[in-house]
């Protein structure tokens, strides 16, 4: 199966990159751009066939490695 | 694509092979090449690998000296620096890739030149970069500067090799062709140098490093896409650098080199597997057999053509002594790198390549190397320009000084070098900002001095004198820190060599380099050529970048540009006629790039440099600065800003503008305690020099009696201001 | 004082740290590969600067999971002295041995330059040879050195005197909250800092302000 | 409206980070992890109310700034 993991900064954690992007977009003349946040997307191919088992193991991957839960949160999408 | 697929005239043309060359290939093979063989010839006979336009001229370069252990012909040059230590260095360009994708182009350029150095058995200890960008106001320039600088830092910083210097110019002629020339200097032991000659038959050929993907396969594959298995999204040819893998590759190679398992080793640079295997076989006078099925592959369904021409980064090819494979595999396993025996050396003198059980290429090795075409392209010898250099004598001196030191070509490069880790390895004694970088030989009391120099506007006005000047300035910068100049590497960046005027520039520049390097005993030990730097017929300024390396025998006898004491006498060494031709003063203040390039008198160059160096070596002088772009007053301002001490210049008996802003060559400013100045002037006269008393260090401003003064604070504001202001553009710094 | 320096894949200040330690202690530290499951018997271990695992995913994230870190974590709980410099600091936060996290520099660029540092706390095995309030200079060389922690954590760090080094007010190179350059764990036996004391232990290299840090360790641990 | 932009490397472009993550997951003992690719996810708040107009302008942002189209491709999701 395929897993897509989004790792984004928790609210309240400042995001210099997002800020810079927002700033750049405005000065490039894109009007009405509000807050911008940048995160990571990680696409994995996994052998596991069972969706819930897959989700469980990807969740472990996030807790152990993919996200730093001090500053980051994650979402997981599983697709066949 | 199948090896058998017939080669049509279009395909031949798409591979950049002329009809004559194709006929020659048929003759050498005794039959028409298949597509794989054609691809191999196209890269091996390309300008980049064969130097077919320049080789005949490069022979005129002096490459020998008692201290030169390896001149041009290996991956990098090697010079003796005493005590059994050697310095290994080379400069190489990554111009086109950096224009296409500045971050990755510059990053992979850094990675490539580092491999050239550590493939010789040396640990890289210093990086330099010589950069040329288009006009600051050109819409692409800012983005290219940001990307190139971030890419150089991104790769070099991760490698843990300090980037200690370089040079940067802006000029409209580079609008469509920026130049990114990276130089790497490494240290090794004289008895532990590794070369690329694959001598002997029956030895295992091993592949080391990253897997092979479809990276950087030359444009020809694009054109012959119909031959490829997958016709998915248009295949990118941009290589992405992986400095992490390169760092592991460096450590693993040095670990393997500590054993005696290696017969020959060679990085896979341009034309990857093809050129590395062909070069090794050719230099070893042997043959080579490769089995592509054993090549570690990153993608599925790769064809023989793609594997042979891939320019995936962070890969090496080595020939081991038979039976040593396991030992090597253990080392690369520890560093978690791919390792595979992919072939063996033979005595057939042929390059034989198998894929999926079929022979896909069978080529006599000499056909790829010795038999590669060498052209005597038509040459039109350039006329040196010598038009008038009138200027307005009424312009206020200090306004001009401020403009100059705040101009793109003279302002502080801090914005750039603060993005480079210049202090890692804890041996950087002089970092960016001085005349030459100084890097201590680890654990020793001696150091290497390193510089890169060329003044393209001089080379345009007079290719011969301009190239002489580039070598002389490198020699001068090394002397100014107290180092004995030893050897150079060169990176010849030019336009289209098929144009006789361009070929004329190339030829004259090589003659200029040759003359200066002969007289100064400053031989060429390595280098690289980058031609066809043109956009819509407009060529870049001729840019023969020179990388110079020198030796400081005693690290404690060294000079910097900074004034150290109040009350020092500032003494000018070298003759000042007030040459304004091609000066930055004319360009920035009078807005005219006119006049003759300053001539270099190599005899007085040598006399002046030897005198200054001796003063430093004997501990008489610890402040010295050569006078180059911008002239005397700019040099003096730089010394004052660096030391935080001003200067007082008594009544000038000379016409101020030519005297203070002229770019006469072979000159230095030194400063010594007032009490010692008289004796020093005497010594200079006895040595046949014409020393001049310029003034005295003091205060917080530079004052010219009867003219006025300017504070160091104001100078600093102008000097440090331009780059950050220019780059504060609302543009994201590129990150990987 | 017996010392060790851990070598992760693509550590690159391991040699610099070893040289500084040897200069001060007169003894070569043991160089320990990240894959070792056990640390030799030493008084202090240094996690050096560099780009362990390429800084990929997050600086220090993969290094924090290496075999040797498990042993170091256990021994630190029993009081082993641990010094993390730059990338080593990042490893310590990722390993949960120090609070907070290091984020991309506020200006989004790698920065290498000498920085004014104020010693906040001389009450530690790492800093006793400095005066509290002393202004020194260390070089920084980082792209991800922007220290972040929530307000309570920051208050606690300050309240408990665990902020050992701060960037001088006008000289914060990376946007670190409250100018934090180096912090201690609760037990005060683990220090992480972004600047590089090991690069300023030799007058030739532009300063000797870093020596006192290694001398503090030497004095405390021998 | 909200826009979510995925910026990922084009197929065939080396992804050193993804490679390293995959390697780390394997050595952490997660079985059957195949290829791993890492990309960026950028969340933007935009004033524009009209979905198709919003998409059009975000597309421009990608071309101009958010993606390096020499090596990266992008997908855009618009939500109210
Ligand atoms: N302009 C030059 N001056 C002197 N030597 C040169 C020059 N250009 C190339 N060489 C030498 O020719 C050899 C091949 O150059 P190059 O292909 O750039 O090396 P590599 O394949 O290792 O990158 C090298 O030994 C290099 O030093
Ligand atoms: Mg090479």
CB B400 within 8 A of CB B661: yes
Q: Is the CB of B372 under 6 A from ligand 1?
A: no
> What is the nearest CA distance from B453 to chain C, expressed in angstroms?
24
What's the half-sphere exposure (Cβ side, CA atoms, 13 Å) at C88?
Answer: 29
So what's the pLDDT on residue B238? Answer: 80
β-strands B437-440, B287-291: how paired? unpaired
pLDDT higher than threshold 90 for residue B732: no
Say if the Cβ atoms of A27 and B730 lie within 8 Å: yes
> Could you give the residue numbers annotated as active site of B?
48, 94
So what's the pLDDT on residue B222? Answer: 41
D9 contacts on B by Cβ (under 8 Å) = 240
Q: Which residues contact residue B23 at a Cβ distance below 8 angstroms, ignoring those fewer than 6 apart?
A: none
Q: Is the CB of B524 under 6 A from ligand 1?
A: yes
Nearest CA to ligand 1 atom 27: B526
CB C120 within 8 A of CB C176: no
pLDDT higher than threshold 80 for residue C192: yes
So what's the pLDDT on residue B735? Answer: 53
pLDDT band at B234 (very low <50, low <70, confident <90, very high): very low
Mean per-residue pLDDT over chain B, rounded: 94
Distances (CA, A) of B685 to B665, B692, D11: 19, 10, 70
The interface pTM score, or ipTM, of the predicted complex is 0.93
pLDDT higher than threshold 50 for residue B232: no
CB B598 within 8 A of CB B534: no
For B731-735, C64-68, C181-185, which range has the lowest pLDDT when averaged over its residues?
Answer: B731-735
Of D16, D68, D71, the CB nearest to B242: D16
B139 contacts on A by Cβ (under 8 Å) = none
What is the per-residue pLDDT across B456-473, written as a single tens digit (0 to 9) for each? 999 999 999 999 999 999
Q: Residue range B403-431: average pLDDT? A: 97
- E strand residue ranges, B39-162: 68-70, 77-80, 85-93, 123-133
Is A16 exposed, middle or buried (CB count within 10 Å of its CB: 0-12, 13-18, 19+)?
middle
Place of tokens 């100049």: B485
Q: Residue range B426-439: average pLDDT? A: 96
C113 contacts on B by Cβ (under 8 Å) = 418
- C-alpha–C-alpha distance, residues C7 and C4, integer Å: 10
So what's the pLDDT on residue B368? Answer: 95
Residue of A nearest to C91 (CA): A68
Nearest Cα neighbor of C97 from C4, C197, C184 is: C184
CB contact burial B280-293 (16+ within 10 A = b; e otherwise): bbbbbebbbbbbbe
B157 contacts on C by Cβ (under 8 Å) = 51, 110, 112, 141, 143
Of D41, D60, D66, the CB nearest to A41: D41
User: Which of A24, A30, A47 to substitute to test the interface with D, most D CBs within 10 Å?
Assistant: A30
Q: Residue range C121-129: average pLDDT? A: 97
CB A54 within 8 A of CB A78: yes
Is B537 exposed, middle or buried (CB count within 10 Å of its CB: 0-12, 13-18, 19+)?
exposed
Rg for chain D, CA atoms, rounded: 16
pLDDT higher than threshold 50 for residue B263: yes
Q: Is the CB of B58 under 6 A from ligand 1?
A: yes
- C-alpha–C-alpha distance, residues B432 and B423, integer Å: 10
Distances (CA, A) of B687 to B349, B606, B608, B675, D78: 59, 12, 9, 20, 79
Nearest CA to ligand 1 atom 4: B527
Instruction: State the Cα angle at D51 between D47 and D56, rounded to 5°.
Output: 85
CB B189 within 8 A of CB B277: no
What is the per-residue pLDDT across B646-685, written as a single tens digit (0 to 9) for each? 999 998 888 999 999 999 999 999 999 999 999 999 999 9
CB B345 within 8 A of CB B196: no
> DSSP letter at B551?
E
So what's the pLDDT on residue B729? Answer: 58
Ordered DSSP codes for B662-699: ---SS-EEEEEEHHHHHHHHHHHHHTT---EEEEEE-T
CB contact burial C63-87 (16+ within 10 A = b; e otherwise): bbbbebbebbbebbeeebbbbbbbb
What is the per-residue pLDDT across A51-73, written as a single tens digit (0 to 9) for each? 999 999 999 999 999 999 999 99
So what's the pLDDT on residue B651? Answer: 85
User: Which of A68, A69, A74 to substitute to test the interface with C, most C CBs within 10 Å?
Assistant: A68
Of D34, D42, D45, the CB nearest to A46: D34
So what's the pLDDT on residue B387? Answer: 85
User: Which of D30, D40, D64, D76 to substitute to test the interface with A, most A CBs within 10 Å?
Assistant: D30
> What is the nearest CA distance from D19 to chain B, expressed in angstroms?
10
Q: Residue range B177-197: average pLDDT? A: 97
pLDDT higher than threshold 60 for residue B236: no
Kindly state whether C46 is in contact with chain D, defined as any CB-CB distance less than 8 angstroms.
Answer: no
**How far is ligand 1, taken at its centre, from the CA of residue B33, in Å?**
28
Handedness of CA B63, B66, B67, B71 (dihedral sign): positive
Q: At what angle do helices B397-405 and B632-643 cross, to 10 degrees?
A: 70
Q: Is the CB of B59 under 6 A from ligand 1?
A: no
- C-alpha–C-alpha distance, residues B50 and B679, integer Å: 56
Say if the Cβ atoms of B238 and D11 lie within 8 Å: no
What is the per-residue pLDDT across B240-251, written as a single tens digit (0 to 9) for each? 999 999 999 999
Kindly state whether C151 is in contact with chain A, defined as any CB-CB distance less than 8 angstroms.
Answer: no
Say if the Cβ atoms of B732 and A27 lie within 8 Å: no
- C-alpha–C-alpha distance, residues B166 and B417, integer Å: 9
Residue of D nearest to C52 (CA): D20
pLDDT band at A27 (very low <50, low <70, confident <90, very high): confident
C-alpha B669: how far from chain center: 27
pLDDT band at B5 (very low <50, low <70, confident <90, very high): low
Please state the pTM of the whole predicted model: 0.95
- The pair of structure tokens assigned to B31 is 């039959």
Q: Is the CB of B306 under 6 A from ligand 1?
A: no
So what's the pLDDT on residue B386? Answer: 85
């Amino acid at each position: 199966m395929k897993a897509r993991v989004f790792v984004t900064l928790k609210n309240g954690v400042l995001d210099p990159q997002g800020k810079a992007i927002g700033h750049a977009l405005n000065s490039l003349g894109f009007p009405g751009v509000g807050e911008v946040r940048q995160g990571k997307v990680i696409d994995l191919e996994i052998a596991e066939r069972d969706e819930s088992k897959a989700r469980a193991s990807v969740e472990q991957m996030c807790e152990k490695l993919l996200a730093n839960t001090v500053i980051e949160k994650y979402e997981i999408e599983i697709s066949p | 694509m199948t090896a058998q697929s017939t080669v049509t005239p279009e395909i031949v043309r798409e591979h950049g092979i002329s009809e004559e060359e194709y006929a020659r290939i048929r003759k050498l093979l005794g039959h028409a090449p298949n597509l794989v063989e054609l691809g191999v010839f196209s890269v091996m006979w390309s300008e980049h690998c064969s130097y077919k336009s320049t080789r005949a001229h490069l022979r005129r370069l002096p490459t020998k000296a008692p201290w030169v252990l390896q001149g041009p012909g290996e991956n990098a040059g090697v010079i003796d620096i005493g005590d059994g230590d050697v310095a290994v260095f080379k400069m190489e360009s990554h111009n086109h890739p950096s224009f296409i994708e500045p971050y990755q182009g510059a990053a992979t350029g850094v990675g490539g030149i580092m491999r050239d150095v550590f493939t010789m058995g040396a640990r890289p200890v210093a990086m330099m970069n010589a950069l040329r960008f288009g006009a600051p106001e050109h819409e692409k320039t800012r983005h290219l500067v940001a990307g190139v600088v971030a890419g150089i830092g991104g790769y070099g910083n991760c490698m843990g090799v300090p980037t200690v210097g370089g040079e940067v110019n802006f000029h409209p002629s580079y609008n469509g062709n920026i130049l990114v020339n990276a130089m790497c200097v490494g240290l090794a032991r004289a008895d532990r140098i590794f070369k690329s000659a694959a001598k002997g038959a029956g030895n295992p050929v091993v592949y080391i490093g990253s897997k092979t993907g479809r990276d950087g396969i030359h444009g020809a594959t694009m054109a012959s896409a119909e031959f490829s298995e997958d016709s998915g999204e248009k295949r990118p040819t941009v290589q992405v650098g992986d400095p992490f893998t390169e760092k592991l590759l460096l450590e693993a190679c040095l670990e393997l080199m500590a054993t005696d398992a290696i017969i020959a080793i060679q990085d896979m640079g341009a034309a990857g597997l093809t050129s590395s295997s062909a070069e090794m076989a050719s230099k070893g006078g042997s043959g080579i057999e490769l089995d592509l099925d054993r090549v570690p592959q990153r993608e599925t369904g790769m064809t023989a053509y793609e594997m042979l021409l891939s320019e995936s980064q962070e890969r090496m090819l080595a020939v081991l002594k038979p039976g040593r494979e396991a030992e090597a595999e253990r080392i690369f396993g520890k560093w978690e790198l791919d390792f595979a025996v992919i072939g063996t050396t033979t005595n057939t003198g042929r390059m034989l390549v198998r894929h999926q059980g079929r022979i896909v290429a069978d080529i006599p090795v000499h056909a790829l190397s010795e038999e590669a075409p060498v052209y005597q392209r038509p040459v039109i010898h350039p006329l040196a320009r010598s038009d008038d250099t009138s200027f307005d004598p009424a312009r206020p001196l200090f306004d001009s000084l401020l403009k100059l030191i705040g101009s793109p070509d003279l302002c502080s490069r801090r914005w750039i070098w603060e993005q480079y880790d210049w202090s890692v390895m804890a041996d950087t004694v002089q970092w960016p900002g001085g005349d030459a970088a100084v890097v201590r030989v680890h654990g020793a009391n001696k150091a290497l001095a390193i510089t890169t120099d060329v003044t393209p506007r001089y080379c345009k006005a007079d290719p011969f004198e301009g190239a002489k000047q580039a070598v002389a300035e490198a020699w001068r910068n090394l002397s100014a820190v107290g180092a004995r100049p030893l050897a150079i590497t060169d990176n010849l960046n030019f336009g289209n060599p098929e144009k006789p005027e361009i070929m004329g520039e190339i030829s004259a520049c090589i003659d200029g380099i040759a003359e200066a390097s002969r007289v100064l005993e400053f031989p060429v030990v390595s280098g690289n050529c980058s031609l066809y730097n043109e956009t819509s017929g407009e060529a870049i300024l001729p840019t023969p970048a020179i990388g110079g390396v020198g030796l400081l025998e005693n690290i404690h006898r060294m000079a910097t540009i900074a004034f150290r004491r109040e009350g020092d006498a500032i003494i000018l060494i070298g003759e000042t006629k007030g040459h304004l031709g091609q000066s930055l003063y004319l360009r920035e203040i009078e807005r005219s790039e006119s006049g003759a390039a300053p001539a270099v008198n190599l005899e007085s160059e040598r006399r002046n440099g030897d005198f200054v160096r001796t003063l430093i070596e004997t501990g008489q002088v610890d402040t010295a600065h050569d006078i180059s772009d911008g002239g005397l007053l700019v040099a003096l301002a730089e010394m004052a800003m660096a030391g935080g001490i001003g200067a007082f210049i008594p009544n000038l008996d000379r016409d101020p503008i030519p005297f203070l802003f002229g770019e006469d060559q072979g000159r230095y400013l030194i400063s010594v305690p007032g009490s010692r100045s008289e004796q020093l002037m005497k010594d200079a006269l006895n040595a046949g020099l014409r020393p001049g008393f310029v003034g005295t260090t003091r205060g917080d401003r530079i004052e010219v009696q009867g003219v006025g003064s300017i504070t160091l604070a104001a100078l600093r504001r102008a000097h440090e201001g331009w780059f950050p202001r220019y780059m504060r553009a609302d543009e994201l710094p590129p990150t990987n | 004082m017996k010392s060790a320096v851990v070598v992760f894949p693509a550590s690159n200040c391991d040699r610099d740290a070893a040289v500084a330690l040897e200069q001060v202690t007169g003894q070569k530290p043991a160089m320990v590969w990240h894959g070792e499951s056990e640390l030799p018997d030493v008084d202090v271990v240094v996690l050096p600067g560099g780009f362990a695992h390429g800084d990929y995913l997050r600086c220090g994230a993969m290094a924090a999971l290496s075999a040797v870190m498990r042993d170091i974590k256990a021994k630190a709980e029993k009081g082993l002295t641990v010094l993390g410099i730059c990338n080593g600091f990042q490893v310590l936060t990722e390993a949960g041995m120090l609070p907070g996290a290091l984020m991309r520099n506020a200006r989004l660029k790698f920065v290498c330059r000498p920085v004014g540092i104020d010693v906040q706390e001389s009450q530690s095995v790492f800093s006793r040879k400095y005066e509290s309030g002393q202004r020194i200079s260390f070089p920084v060389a980082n792209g991800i050195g922007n220290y972040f922690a929530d307000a309570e954590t920051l208050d606690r760090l300050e309240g408990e005197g665990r902020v050992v080094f701060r960037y001088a007010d006008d000289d914060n190179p990376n946007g670190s909250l409250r100018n934090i350059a180096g912090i201690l764990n609760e037990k005060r036996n683990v220090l992480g800092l972004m600047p590089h004391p090991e690069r300023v232990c030799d007058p030739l290299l532009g300063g000797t302000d870093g020596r006192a840090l290694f001398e503090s360790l030497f004095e405390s641990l021998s």
